[in-house]
Structure 1
């Protein structure tokens, strides 16, 4: 290493030799030319333009020269520095042009091609399960019946033997709609069950009647793990001569085994509904319940009340029938092990993919 007070000695300032500077420039040009991309170029830059590069080290040695030699040495070092920088800039410009051309080539878009399909989602398991129920009963000779979700109170309550004072008609249980004058109407409701479809069917179709009525219904329930204000229900109605409770039990046994499993155990527990007499709750024995084996209520059923038959113009002395209703959400919970009903309404495609097994 040389110092400012040293006498001029060419051996101590060998980096300032014109041949050494020429070699430094040639090595830099060669190194830059051999780089394949901008990352390679950045990796070798410090070797030729950094603080420890030969040209940078030569510049530091200028101070050790006598005053008469400093001017020429400085000129030579600056020329070498400019040459190295020019070689670097030229190679960077060429690599940037190559990258731009490659991007244009690789990312070219043919606007004449058909648009790509969006990522596929998944059909909701409630929809799939509802269709499976429909297929089951269609195979048994039933028909599918549908009706409006906005119903008159007569179809939703009165025709089903639910008088004006019935608790279910209170606003704490039923969504009543407003009229054009922004007043709540007692005659227009969001249906609380799909039973109005049974009424409409009996009013428009003569027995024998074998129908199932799937669809959305509405209750003033808070959304939690086991309740939702909007849910899906499927109801069945059979009106024919000689229909008894044994026919109903056989249909529901078959329904439960197809939906839940062949080894499912059922029972009919006496209950009360205004539109059936006698009435029962259909319970399923559930050994895998998180709190231990127990009976789980699946839905209500019973023989159609003669008052309901008369309201629809059907002679109860000639025809009898049964009706039943099950929640699709409850069926999915029992069938697939869903523990929180809120998962069914959040719209997360991961839930649908996990429980919706077929398309």
Structure 2
């Protein structure tokens, strides 16, 4: 009986059906009341007592595999049928309504548009950053609190050389550092993006938030330019009455 079971197991692993009719024929052949598996189960009473455990386990395995294979083939046919029913190649094209923008995306795009009209371009950088661009290039001291585990998410920590640490950026200043590495003045950029702080999550705060920084490097740039840029941005963003 074990040899017969092994033979059927091999047959079932290779079962294929071109259509639903062939699949039904396979089900009848193996799983019906007069099928091959039920015939073996009916003959189980003739198995010697010392072999019943082994043969019983093999019979259960055979039946389970047959049911799984038949179900898998049936699911394949149903999926193909549904796909054919949903696709009508004779149908004319029609406009697809897009979903709405997330509020954060709306606000970010408004900020980008305002600074774009002021001559700023967008700069982007990785959210998983090295210590050099997040802290060292920004002149953070090695004992600065922001470099502590309780303030920053560390991906890789190096106790011997903090400059080799890999962290989730705590500000988009790292984008400024990268821009200054590869660009020559004049530089006029904004750096919008997600930043991360190791803080308790509550209804008021989260472990990540969105930030926009700006960098302007050129000759004859003063705090007057900074004040006017901020004032114009505030009025464009919040209305002309903003002081």
**TM-score bin (small chain):** 0.5 to 0.7
Measured on the aligned residues, the alpha-carbon RMSD in Å equals 2.6
| Aligned residue in 1 for 2:231 | 253
* 1:111 positional shift: 4.8
| Aligned residue in 2 for 1:136 | 114
Tell me the SS of whatever aligns to 1:231: strand
TM-score, structure 2 normalization: 0.57
Larger radius of gyration: 1
Quick one: structure 1 residues 203 and 259, their matched pair in 2 at CA, closer, same or farther if it must change by over 3 Å? same
In structure 2, the gaps of 5 or more residues are: 1-84, 158-162
Q: Distance in 1 between matches of 2:231 and 2:86?
A: 59
Q: Distance in 1 between matches of 2:203 and 2:87?
A: 49
Q: Deviations over 1:96-124 (max 9, x none)?
A: xxxxxxxxxxxxx7752569998853210
Q: Distance in 2 between matches of 1:135 and 1:142?
A: 9
| Aligned residue in 2 for 1:204 | 182
Contact 1:176 1:186 (C-alpha < 8 Å) held by counterparts: no
TM-score, structure 1 normalization: 0.39
Quick one: structure 1 residues 241 and 111, their matched pair in 2 at CA, closer, same or farther if it must change by over 3 Å? closer
| Aligned residue in 1 for 2:88 | 112
- Counterpart mapping for 1:7-22 below 5 A: none
Tell me the SS of whatever aligns to 2:165: strand
Considering fraction of residues, name the structure with more helix: 2
- Counterpart mapping for 1:1-359 below 5 A: 111-112=87-88, 120-178=98-156, 187-265=165-243
Q: Distance in 2 between matches of 1:228 and 1:117?
A: 38
Contact 1:217 1:230 (C-alpha < 8 Å) held by counterparts: yes
Contact 1:146 1:197 (C-alpha < 8 Å) held by counterparts: yes
Q: Deviations over 1:24-82 (max 9, x none)?
A: xxxxxxxxxxxxxxxxxxxxxxxxxxxxxxxxxxxxxxxxxxxxxxxxxxxxxxxxxxx
Counting matched residue pairs gives 153
